[in-house]
Structure 1
Amino acid sequence: MITLEQAQTMINVALAKGVEEGWKPLSAVVLDAGGNMQAFARGDGAAPGRFDVARAKAYGAVMLGMGGKAQMARAEAQAYFMAAVNGIYGGQTCPVPGGVLIRDASGAVIGAMGVTGDTSDNDAEAALAGIAAAGLSGEA
């Protein structure tokens, strides 16, 4: 289980990472293992539509059990499958980096974090920094 304190730490650190690196304003969401939103924040200056992108990145990760980088590779190799999966989930997935699985100390998936606003690789880097700051492991 991800506590609210951990979720807020992940988000705060991810957004701060973007500011420190001089990236475009980030937005971040943390979902539990069932895909339910636990916390969200939109950085100062971030586009208002970023919630949906961050959530879709995280939702795809937790529902498929694979991070955004693996989803993107799968989409490139099996576009039909990933399009079908996105249809199954009502268009709620976004198979690109920035959707990161969150694992506990035993390796169990306990949720996912989605970050958006800069390049997908930078989004993933920010998510990983936030997850590590909360004492958990991330799989981009």
Structure 2
Amino acid sequence: MLTFDTARRLADAALAEGTRRRAAPLTVAVLDGGGHEVVVYRQTGSGIARPQIATGKAWGALGLGFSSRGVAGAAARFPEFFNALAATGGRVVPAPGGVLLRTGEGDIVGAIGVSGDNSDVDEACAILAATQVGLQPEPPLPAGG
């Protein structure tokens, strides 16, 4: 189970990593395993659509069972799949930055979505945040961190 305290720590860690990387202002959404928003943080200066984008990255990862980077890859390979995703009312955002959160046993407990900088930076902030709070991110932290 993903607690409010863990979700808050995830969001704080993602924002801290963005600051460390000198990223553009970020928005972070943390969803529980049922796709419900637990926390959404928007830094001053982060665009007004960023909460929906961050949530869509996380929601798509949860809904499809793989990271939003994987969702983007599937959309590129299968355009009809992407069209079907559009029928979700825009809830799925096929761009890196949505990361599944697993326990050490491999159970999915939620997802984190980050939006505000380029998608690779968004994703890196999400992955590092997950590892900092003791969860297993998917995709995992690349070798060399």
Query: TM-score band (shorter)?
Result: over 0.9
Q: Distance in 1 between matches of 2:51 and 2:5?
A: 20
Distance 1:44 1:118 in 2: 14
SS in 1 for 2:28: strand
Partner of 2:91, secondary structure, is coil
Structure 2 letter corresponding to 1:129:
L
Report how far residue 86 of structure 1 moved: 3.0
Q: CA deviation at 1:35?
A: 0.6
Map residues 98-109 of structure 1 onto 2, 5 A cutoff. Answer: 98-109=97-108
TM-score between both structures, scaled by the size of structure 2: 0.92
| Gap runs ≥5 in structure 2 | 140-145
Deviation, 1:81, is: 1.0
CA root-mean-square deviation: 1.0
Specify the code of the residue in structure 2 equivalent to 1:4.
F
Q: Note if 1:66 corresponds to 2:84.
A: no
- Does residue 3 of structure 2 align to residue 3 of structure 1? yes
Q: CA deviation at 1:49?
A: 1.8
Corresponding residue number in structure 1 for 2:132 = 133
What's the TM-score, normalizing by structure 1? 0.95
Number of residue pairs matched? 139
**Alignment of structure 1 residues 40-119 onto 2, 5 Å:** 40-87=40-87, 89-119=88-118
| Identity %, equivalent residues | 36
Q: Distance in 1 between matches of 2:109 and 2:79?
A: 27
- After superposition, what is the alpha-carbon deviation per residue over 1:28-72, rounded to whole angstroms, capped at 9, x for unaligned? 000011110011101122112210000010010001001011111
Gaps of 5+ in 1: none
Within 1, Cα distance between the matches of 2:72 and 2:66? 10
